[in-house]
A and B are shown apart, each in its own frame.
Chain A
Amino acid sequence: MTATDPLLVFDAVTRAYGEVLAVAGVSCAIQSGSFVALVGASGSGKSTLLKMVNTLVEPTGGAVLFGGEDVSTLPPARLRRRVGYVFQGIGLFPHMSVAENIAIGPRLTGEKLGGERITELLELVELEAGMASRMPDELSGGQRQRVGVARALAGGPELLLMDEPFGALDPLTRDALGTKVRELHERLGLTTVMVTHDMAEALLLADRVLVMDTGKLVADATPRELLAGEGGDIAQGLVAVPRQQAERLAALESLGETPR
Chain B
Amino acid sequence: MGDIWEILPGLGDKLAAHVVLSASAIGLAMLIALPMAVWASRSPTVSRIALGLASLVQTIPALALLALFFPLLLSLRSVFGEGLPTLGFLPALMALTLYALLPILRNAVTAQANLDPGVLEAADGVGMTKWQKLTLVEAPLAAPFIMAGIRTASVWTIGAATLATTIGQPSLGDPIFAGLQTQNWALVLAGCLASAGLALAADNLLWVIEVGLAKRSRWMTFGGMAVVALGIGAALWAQGAGSDERRIVIASKQFSEQYILAKLIGSRLEAAGYAVEYRDGLGSAVVHSAVASSSIDISVDYTGTIWTNYLNRDDNPGREAMYETIREWEARENGVKVLGRLGFENAYAFAMRQDRAAELSVTSLTDLAAVAPQLTVGGDPEFFERPEWIAVRDAYGLRFAGNRNFAPTFMYNALQSGEADVISAYTSDGRIAADKLVVLEDPEGALPSYDAMLMLSPRIADDAGVIAALEPLIGAISVEAMREANLAVDREDEAKLTPRAAAAELADKVGL
Contact = CB atoms under 8 A, between A and B. Distances in A.
Interface in B92-139: 116, 118-119, 121-129, 132, 136-137
A81 B118 contact: no
B396 to A, nearest CB: 79
Most chain B CB inside 10 Å of its own CB: which residue of A81, A104, A135: A104
Interface string A60-80: 000000000000000011111
Interface string A134-162: 01000000000000000100000000000
Contacts of B119: 91-94
Contact of B125 (A91, A94, A95, A135): A91
A195 B205 CA distance: 49
B135 to A, nearest CB: 11
Given A93-B137, A95-B140, A95-B141, A56 B127 contact: no
A85 B129 contact: no
A108 B128 CA distance: 7
B127 A105 contact: yes
Interface string A85-117: 101111111110000000011001000000000
B313 interface: no
A108 B127 contact: yes
B122 A80 contact: no
A160 B168 CA distance: 67
A215 B212 CA distance: 48
A54 B140 contact: no
Interface string B421-434: 00000000000000
Interface in B134-170: 136-137, 140-141
Interface string A34-48: 000000000000000
Given A87-B118, A93-B119, A95-B216, A105 B141 contact: no
A90 B123 CA distance: 11
Contacts of B129: 77, 108
A85 B136 CA distance: 18
Given A94-B141, A95-B140, A95-B141, A105 B126 contact: yes
A129 B127 CA distance: 26
A56 B125 contact: yes
B127 A77 contact: yes
Contacts of A85: 125-126
Contacts, number: 60
Contacts of A88: 118
B126 to A, nearest CB: 5
Place the interface of chain A in its size category. 20 to 34
Contacts of A95: 137, 140-141, 216
A108 B126 contact: yes
Most chain A CB inside 10 Å of its own CB: which residue of B125, B128, B216: B125
Contacts of B132: 77, 108
Contacts of A93: 119, 122-123, 136-137
A151 B132 CA distance: 17
A175 B314 CA distance: 95
A81 B127 contact: yes
Nearest to A75: B129
Contacts of A94: 116, 119, 141
B125 A80 contact: yes
Nearest to B130: A77
Nearest to B140: A95
B126 A56 contact: no
B126 A104 contact: yes
A91 B216 CA distance: 19
B124 A80 contact: yes
Interface string B304-322: 0000000000000000000
A151 B126 CA distance: 9
A89 B129 CA distance: 21
A79 B127 contact: yes
Contacts of A54: 125
Contact of B118 (A77, A80, A90): A90
A87 B123 CA distance: 11
Given A92-B119, A93-B119, 12 more contacts: A78-B127, A80-B125, A80-B126, A87-B121, A89-B116, A89-B121, A89-B122, A91-B122, A93-B137, A104-B136, A105-B126, A108-B128
The 4 closest A-B pairs by CB, nearest first: A91-B122, A89-B118, A80-B127, A81-B127
20 contacts: A76-B127, A77-B128, A77-B129, A80-B124, A80-B127, A81-B127, A87-B118, A87-B121, A87-B122, A89-B118, A89-B122, A93-B122, A93-B136, A94-B116, A95-B137, A95-B141, A105-B126, A105-B127, A108-B128, A151-B126
Interface of A: 54, 56, 76-81, 85, 87-95, 104-105, 108, 135, 151
